[in-house]
Structure 1
Amino acid sequence: MPDVLIVGAGPVGLALAADLRARGLDVGIVDKRPAAASGTRAIGIHSPALALLEGSGAADALLARAVRIGRGEARADGRLLAAIRFDRLRVRHPYVAALPQADTVDVLTALAPPVRHGVEVTAVHAGRHDVRIVARGPGGREEIRAALVVVASGWAGRELVYRPGVVRTHHYPDRYVMADVETPGDAVARVHLEREGVLESFPLPGGRRRLVAWAGTTQITDAADTLRRALIARIGVHVDTSTASSFRVRRAVAPALRRGRIVVVGDAAHEVSPIGGQGMNLGLLDALTLAPLLPGWLRSGETDGLGRWEADRLASARHAARLARVNTMLGRAAAPAAHIARTAALRTALRGPGGALFTRAYAMRFDRGALE
């Protein structure tokens, strides 16, 4: 029987598994997907998460593959509103490490225990001394027992822990289009707050950039064409957008993260809009601040720190959700007069102390897991 069984082998589950393995715990990890995740949405790892990833040796391996973004720009109508200087933060990692999610998964997989793929957990039952997991695997129905279970399965696994309706979810009407494209450029992240809607451009390794554009509130039938037209209209750029996809966003924060010997982290407990790039980092901080508490829980039943951990993580999730809501609203199209007023207000707010506060907020320096 493993000390900890982790349900879900995305970046959050793998990071927790690697950290706990480095602490000498017996860790199992299962995932319903038949192979490693190859998702592409989450690309930026912020300083607080990088600092905590050092414990398992993951930080150096991730940085070896990443582009280090030390500067960001907010722009509108071809003009600079403000520069966001991550490189001026007094932290161990004064930058955002940008790399495809598939690379993050690859690095963490090498450090974590072997993942049992194709195992779908259908029920989790907490007992006094252990947890019983019911699953469907390649050989049919099976039961697994573990001293503790951490659910890191993303939103789809929320029903394993929470009753229907307990986690209230807000569905935004906004739709976005996204693509990773080959284009020459620098290592500066740019957010274009144009009248037609936001367009984000982030550097990736290998001379590529991640492009994300607000695309209205109606059904998108051709993501590639929608993104192509948005690029031309908003910043006058022509690139190959044939790999574009579309997505929508939700907001949800669970009322609790623990039930007996079951703990929930990442998107299973909270979802925030990816506009702002904090969703994966929020989950990583959940997992990596939980990890040092688990050995004491297992060896001596020490749970005093778990209450503070849960309160801090819920407070951080609510803060990130509020920030994501503001980012989503700012990213929408606006009438000409409203766009002028919005741009003027942002230019004023982001100059001086306001810009420093925005940089700290975007870099997750206000997250309660940021211990640097």
Structure 2
Amino acid sequence: MPEVLIVGAGPVGTFLASELARLHVDVTLWDRRPEPGGGTRAIGLHAPVLAALEAGGATERILQDAVRVRRGEARSDGRLLGVVRFDRLNRRHPYVATLPQPQTEAALAVHAPAVRRGVDVTGIRRGPDMVRVQGREADAFLAESASLVVLAGGAGARPLVYRAGAVPTTAYPDRYLMSDATLPPRADAELAVVHLDEPGVLESFPLPGGRRRFVAWDSDGGDADPTDDAARLARLQTALRRRGEHAGAEAVTAATAFRVRRVVAPQLRRGRVFAIGDTAHEVSPIGGQGMNLGLLDAAGLAPLLMRWLREGAAPEPELARWERDRVRSARWAARLAAANTRLGRPVDATTHAVRAQVMRAALAVGGPLFAHAYAMGFDAAN
């Protein structure tokens, strides 16, 4: 029987498993996917996360390949609105490190046990001294007991710990297009750029190897055929050309679409069962804090679980403080993401002109505050 069983081998579950193994905890890691996920939606790691990953060596491994984004620019109609200077923050890591998610997961997994894949968890039974986890592997029934169980399997794991309707959920009408592409050398190759124009937001972030991540508000929204790959690509190319990103429009070869929602669970613990990462809270990737939230959940939880197991009793005051801080941090990130979502929607010409003036003035006066907020400066982990 393992001491800790983790459900979900994405970046958050992998990091928690790695940290616990590094602390000499017997940990088992399950995932429903038969193969590692190939998605690269999460690319940015913020200053408090980079600091939290240092002890296990993951920060050093990540920074070997990552781009260190020290500045961001907001532009409108091709003109500069203002600059956000991460390099002026009083932080150990005054930048955002960008790296495709598979590479981040590989850096996090160095100490983690091998993942048992293809396991679909169907139920959890909590007891006073252990937790019984039930599921299916291929066509066979599977059951395992553990002293503690952590759910880090995203939204799919949420029903295992929360009753239907117990977690407030807001589905936004917005839809976005996303693509990564290799571009010719450019002067702003290590600069993050946000275009705020009438048709909606377009974000452009650097990645290693001369690649960039583009995310654009989808002009066709819910009327689009989700299976029409060519139409998605054409809409993204149009969005890029309208912002002057002609090289990007030529370089992209495919586009994916995604929607956003807001989920913040009021509790992360029920006895010996914990929920972290997207299982407990989802925020819009516009702003790039979702994966970071989950990694900070895990960083704070790992030493408390180790202490519980070694001392034979739950460190209740510390666990309560951890839960309170992580819920507060998730609420703050969700509010910021909601503001970013509203700010990036299409507007008419008059509203667009006013928005540009307001943003120019706000960035001129409050540039350091913007950098502090977007670098997770208000997270309780700081």
TM-score (norm 1): 0.97
3-state DSSP of counterpart to 2:164: coil
Question: Partners in 2 of 1:242 and 1:169 — Cα distance?
Answer: 34
- Following TM superposition, by how much is the alpha carbon of 1:187 offset from its aligned partner in structure 2, in angstroms? 0.5
Aligned partners of 1:178 and 1:212 also within 8 Å: yes
2:116 maps to 1:107: no
Question: Partners in 2 of 1:200 and 1:80 — Cα distance?
Answer: 14
Letter in 1 for 2:353: I
2:324 maps to 1:311: yes
Structure 1 counterpart of 2:351: 338
Deviations 1:108-127 (A, max 9, x none): 23331111111111111111
Question: Partners in 2 of 1:204 and 1:60 — Cα distance?
Answer: 17
Question: Partners in 2 of 1:37 and 1:53 — Cα distance?
Answer: 22
2:230 maps to 1:219: no
- The range that moved more, 356-365 or 236-245, is 236-245
Q: 2:276 aligns with which of 240, 265, 273?
A: 265
Unaligned segments of structure 1, at least 5 residues? none
Residue-pair matches, total? 369
Aligned partners of 2:32 and 2:118 also within 8 Å: yes
Structure 2 counterpart of 1:320: 333
Aligned partners of 1:225 and 1:241 also within 8 Å: no
Aligned partners of 1:196 and 1:234 also within 8 Å: no
Aligned partners of 1:169 and 1:251 also within 8 Å: yes
User: Would the alpha carbon gap of residues 332 and 310 (structure 1) be closer, same or farther in structure 2, given more than 3 Å must change?
Assistant: same
Question: Partners in 2 of 1:41 and 1:334 — Cα distance?
Answer: 26
- Following TM superposition, by how much is the alpha carbon of 1:60 offset from its aligned partner in structure 2, in angstroms? 0.8
Deviations 1:299-345 (A, max 9, x none): 22122201011111111111111000000001011101100101111
Letter in 2 for 1:178: M
- Following TM superposition, by how much is the alpha carbon of 1:240 offset from its aligned partner in structure 2, in angstroms? 2.8
- Following TM superposition, by how much is the alpha carbon of 1:135 offset from its aligned partner in structure 2, in angstroms? 1.3
Structure 2 counterpart of 1:362: 374
Letter in 2 for 1:52: A
Aligned partners of 1:37 and 1:105 also within 8 Å: no
Q: 1:288 aligns with which of 299, 303, 308?
A: 299
Structure 2 counterpart of 1:201: 204
Question: Partners in 1 of 2:370 and 2:250 — Cα distance?
Answer: 30
Structure 2 counterpart of 1:229: 238
- Following TM superposition, by how much is the alpha carbon of 1:39 offset from its aligned partner in structure 2, in angstroms? 1.2
Letter in 1 for 2:378: F
3-state DSSP of counterpart to 2:64: helix
Structure 1 counterpart of 2:228: none
Question: Partners in 2 of 1:267 and 1:213 — Cα distance?
Answer: 23
Structure 1 counterpart of 2:151: 151
Aligned partners of 1:6 and 1:29 also within 8 Å: yes
Question: Partners in 1 of 2:362 and 2:208 — Cα distance?
Answer: 32
Aligned partners of 2:2 and 2:145 also within 8 Å: yes
Deviations 1:245-290 (A, max 9, x none): 1111111111211001000000000100000001100111111111
Q: Which runs of 4+ in 1 moved over 6 A?
A: none
Letter in 1 for 2:207: L
3-state DSSP of counterpart to 1:55: coil
Aligned partners of 1:11 and 1:284 also within 8 Å: yes
Deviations 1:63-114 (A, max 9, x none): 1121111111111111111111111111111111101111112222333111
Question: Partners in 2 of 1:268 and 1:361 — Cα distance?
Answer: 24
3-state DSSP of counterpart to 1:111: coil
Question: Partners in 2 of 1:264 and 1:69 — Cα distance?
Answer: 31
Unaligned segments of structure 2, at least 5 residues? 226-230
3-state DSSP of counterpart to 1:287: helix
- Following TM superposition, by how much is the alpha carbon of 1:170 offset from its aligned partner in structure 2, in angstroms? 0.9
**Aligned residues: CA RMSD:** 1.1
Structure 1 counterpart of 2:119: 119
Aligned partners of 1:220 and 1:246 also within 8 Å: no
Deviations 1:166-198 (A, max 9, x none): 112111111110100111331000001111110
Question: Partners in 1 of 2:63 and 2:39 — Cα distance?
Answer: 19
Alignment of 1:14-33 (within 5 A): 14-33=14-33
